């Protein structure tokens, strides 16, 4: 789709911006609607697909536009992008942080090893590369791998322990036990745990509760991941304006791509309360 007001490169980068933004916002909304019951579990897979696609595209936008600024506006080749970055979201993200720190003010610190942020990056990279095929792979290859749902739930547990007080969790557990007992829902669940062991009905409902309560905190993590990429694209856009003005370009080449990702400027309090993102930032 060409627009005579802009260069071809501008239009192509702009379309990637649309794709990245829509994927990320759709992924966030699906993550907020996902859970481990039969009605909502499919939202997890769609959320992971959309988030990994969105992350890869916004990361590539940072990498490509930075490469253009450093190489007289020559973009990297397809082979360079595939061989050096591919679906390796974690290493690409760390490189994108170095780009942000090169052009921007102050320094953004990379996630520490084994932190929740680090585990989320590992999860997204694993899903982008192979975990998205888990269900099909396991048909003929029974392994101890818990799969993407089990891996994500382990992150939910970490977030619950880190972001929700033990007092609050204990009260929630007591309330859930009372509700189940009052309804006569006791004994074992027909659903097995991710470790393959039997679960009680309480265990099954507690998993649903943990996922629901941690989802907004995990969305906040996603927003925090995107913010330094927004900054990088902001700095790059302004450097590009200087370059294009100095070299008398007739048509703009690098868009203000950061404008696609203004949702990453959301505050923590707003993020934890918000239940719909695409409706706000896409409509």
Q: Residues 93-115: pLDDT tens digits? A: 999 999 999 988 888 999 999 99
Look at residue 1 and tell me if it is in a domain.
no
Look at residue 139 and tell me if it is in a domain.
no
Look at residue 2 and tell me if it is in a domain.
no
Domain count, the chain: 1
Structure tokens at 17: 């911006």
Question: Which pLDDT belongs to residue 269?
Answer: 98
CA dist 9 and 57 (Å) reads: 16
CA dist 214 and 218 (Å) reads: 6
Only one residue has tokens 């990056």, namely: 121
Please say if the pLDDT value at position 238 is more than 60: yes
Look at residue 141 and tell me if it is in a domain.
no
CA dist 133 and 172 (Å) reads: 35
Q: How confident is the model at residue 4 (pLDDT cuts 50, 70, 90)?
A: low
**140 phi, psi to nearest 5 deg:** -120, 5
The β-bridge partners of 111 are: none
Stated pTM of the model: 0.94
Cα-based torsion angle of the residue sequence 210, 213, 218, 221 in order, rounded to the nearest 10 degrees: -130
Mean per-residue pLDDT over the chain, rounded = 94
Q: How confident is the model at residue 82 (pLDDT cuts 50, 70, 90)?
A: confident
DSSP assignment string, 18-45: HHHHHHHHHHHHHHHH--SSTTTHHHHH
Question: Which pLDDT belongs to residue 275?
Answer: 96
Question: Which pLDDT belongs to residue 2?
Answer: 58
Cα-based torsion angle of the residue sequence 157, 158, 162, 165 in order, rounded to the nearest 10 degrees: 20
- Sequence length of the chain is 283
Average pLDDT over residues 164-170: 91
Question: Is residue 63 within 8 Å of 29, Cβ to Cβ?
Answer: no
CA dist 51 and 190 (Å) reads: 31
Please say if the pLDDT value at position 64 is more than 80: yes
Look at residue 3 and tell me if it is in a domain.
no
Question: Is residue 86 within 8 Å of 282, Cβ to Cβ?
Answer: no
Q: How confident is the model at residue 173 (pLDDT cuts 50, 70, 90)?
A: very high
Note down the domain range covering 185: 8-134+146-281
The β-bridge partners of 198 are: 192
CA dist 110 and 94 (Å) reads: 7
Question: Is residue 81 within 8 Å of 72, Cβ to Cβ?
Answer: no
């Amino acid at each position: 789709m060409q627009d005579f007001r802009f260069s071809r490169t501008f239009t192509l980068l702009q379309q990637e911006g649309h794709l990245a933004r829509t994927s990320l916002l759709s992924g966030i909304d699906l993550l907020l609607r996902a859970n481990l019951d039969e009605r909502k579990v499919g939202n997890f897979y769609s959320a992971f697909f959309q988030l990994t696609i969105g992350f890869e595209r916004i990361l590539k936008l940072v990498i490509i536009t930075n490469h253009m600024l450093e190489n007289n506006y020559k973009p990297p080749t397809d082979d360079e992008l595939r061989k050096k970055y591919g679906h390796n979201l974690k290493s690409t993200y760390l490189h994108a942080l170095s780009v942000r720190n090169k052009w921007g003010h102050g320094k953004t610190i990379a996630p520490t090893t084994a932190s929740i942020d680090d585990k989320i990056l590992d999860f997204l990279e694993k899903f982008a590369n192979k975990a998205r095929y888990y269900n099909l792979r396991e048909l003929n290859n029974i392994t101890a791998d818990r799969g993407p749902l089990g891996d994500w739930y382990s992150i939910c547990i970490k977030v619950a322990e880190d972001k929700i007080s033990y007092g609050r969790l204990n009260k929630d557990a007591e309330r859930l036990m009372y509700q189940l007992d009052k309804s006569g829902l006791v004994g074992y669940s027909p659903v097995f745990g991710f470790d393959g062991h039997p679960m009680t009905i309480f265990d099954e409902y507690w998993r649903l509760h943990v996922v629901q309560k941690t989802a907004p905190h995990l969305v906040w993590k996603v927003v925090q991941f995107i913010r330094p990429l927004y900054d990088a694209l902001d700095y790059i856009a302004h450097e590009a304006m200087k370059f294009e003005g100095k070299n008398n370009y007739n048509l703009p080449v690098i868009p203000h791509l950061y404008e696609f990702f203004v949702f990453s400027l959301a505050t923590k309090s707003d993020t934890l309360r918000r239940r719909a993102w695409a409706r706000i930032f896409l409509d």
